[in-house]
């Protein structure tokens, strides 16, 4: 579960990124976090992954209180979270299989466990037949599927997808969103950060809108129309 309670965050530059955020996302939910550039979306992601700590308030995620956690606890928090980025962040010299397996090797998983789990997630994302290919042999949509497989391989309870379709065409974007929806149906909590209005409107899911460091809308179905607030 994610719970932000009266969270504020200011950067050293004086920028007040968050100004009293209250947000709860329960286990198993699928949530879109939307908002214009500079609204505070990236700051929320950094708070959830332990990269930042709130200036004030409480951030709880998967049983960890990131407001007070020790630096030594951060790697354990991050093992409960899979993060998918817009730019894929694959290792170009490694195969699809090794890109995904690398995430398990880092946490010391046994070879047999790695073989079984990597095979499972590659099948889940539809890339079992391309396990020995390199990233530059794949399309953009396929590379993002590898990134999703890598995020899933350590069986996290939460997937955070940060603009996961930003580099993809509309058809591939829809495919990626449908894959994330399927992953959510299997029990994983999914938080998708995006500005793609048309894509959000294709899915009848909870949409949390942030603007100026404040939550301005929290409802199911439909992208929040910022122009109505101007």
Which pLDDT does position 41 carry in this prediction? 93
Which pLDDT does position 226 carry in this prediction? 59
CB 153 within 8 A of CB 117: yes
pLDDT averaged per 10 residues, the chain (length 230):
95 92 96 91 93 94 88 89 89 95 92 95 94 94 93 94 88 91 94 90 92 93 61
Which pLDDT does position 228 carry in this prediction? 43
Tokens 């170009």 locate to 92
| Closest to 28 (Cα-Cα) out of 178, 188, 222, 135 | 188
Which pLDDT does position 230 carry in this prediction? 36
Number of neighbours of residue 161 by Cβ within 10 angstroms: 27
| Closest to 39 (Cα-Cα) out of 53, 57, 21 | 21
CB 113 within 8 A of CB 155: no
Give 44: exposed, middle or buried? Use CB within 10 Å, 0-12, 13-18, 19+. Answer: buried
pTM: 0.91
């Amino acid at each position: 579960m994610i719970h932000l309670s009266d969270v504020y965050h200011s950067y050293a530059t004086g920028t007040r990124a968050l100004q009293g955020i209250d947000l709860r996302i329960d286990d198993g939910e699928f949530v879109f976090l939307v908002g214009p550039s500079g609204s505070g979306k990236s700051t929320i992601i950094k708070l959830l992954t332990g990269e930042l700590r709130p200036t004030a308030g409480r951030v709880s995620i998967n049983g960890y209180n990131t407001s007070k956690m020790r630096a030594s606890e951060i790697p354990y928090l991050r093992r409960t979270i899979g993060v998918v980025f817009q730019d894929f962040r694959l290792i170009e010299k490694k195969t699809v299989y090794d890109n995904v397996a690398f995430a398990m090797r880092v946490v010391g998983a046994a070879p047999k466990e790695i073989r079984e789990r990597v095979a499972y997630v590659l099948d889940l994302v539809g890339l079992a037949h391309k396990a020995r290919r390199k990233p530059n042999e794949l399309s953009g949509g396929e590379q993002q599927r590898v990134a999703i497989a890598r995020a899933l391989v350590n069986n996290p309870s939460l997937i955070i997808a940060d603009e996961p379709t930003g580099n993809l065409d509309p058809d591939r974007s829809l495919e990626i969103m449908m894959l994330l929806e399927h992953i959510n149906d299997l029990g994983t909590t999914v938080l998708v950060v995006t500005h793609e209005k048309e894509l959000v409107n294709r899915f009848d899911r909870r949409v949390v809108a942030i603007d100026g460091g404040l939550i301005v809308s929290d409802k199911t179905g439909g992208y929040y129309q910022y122009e109505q607030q101007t």
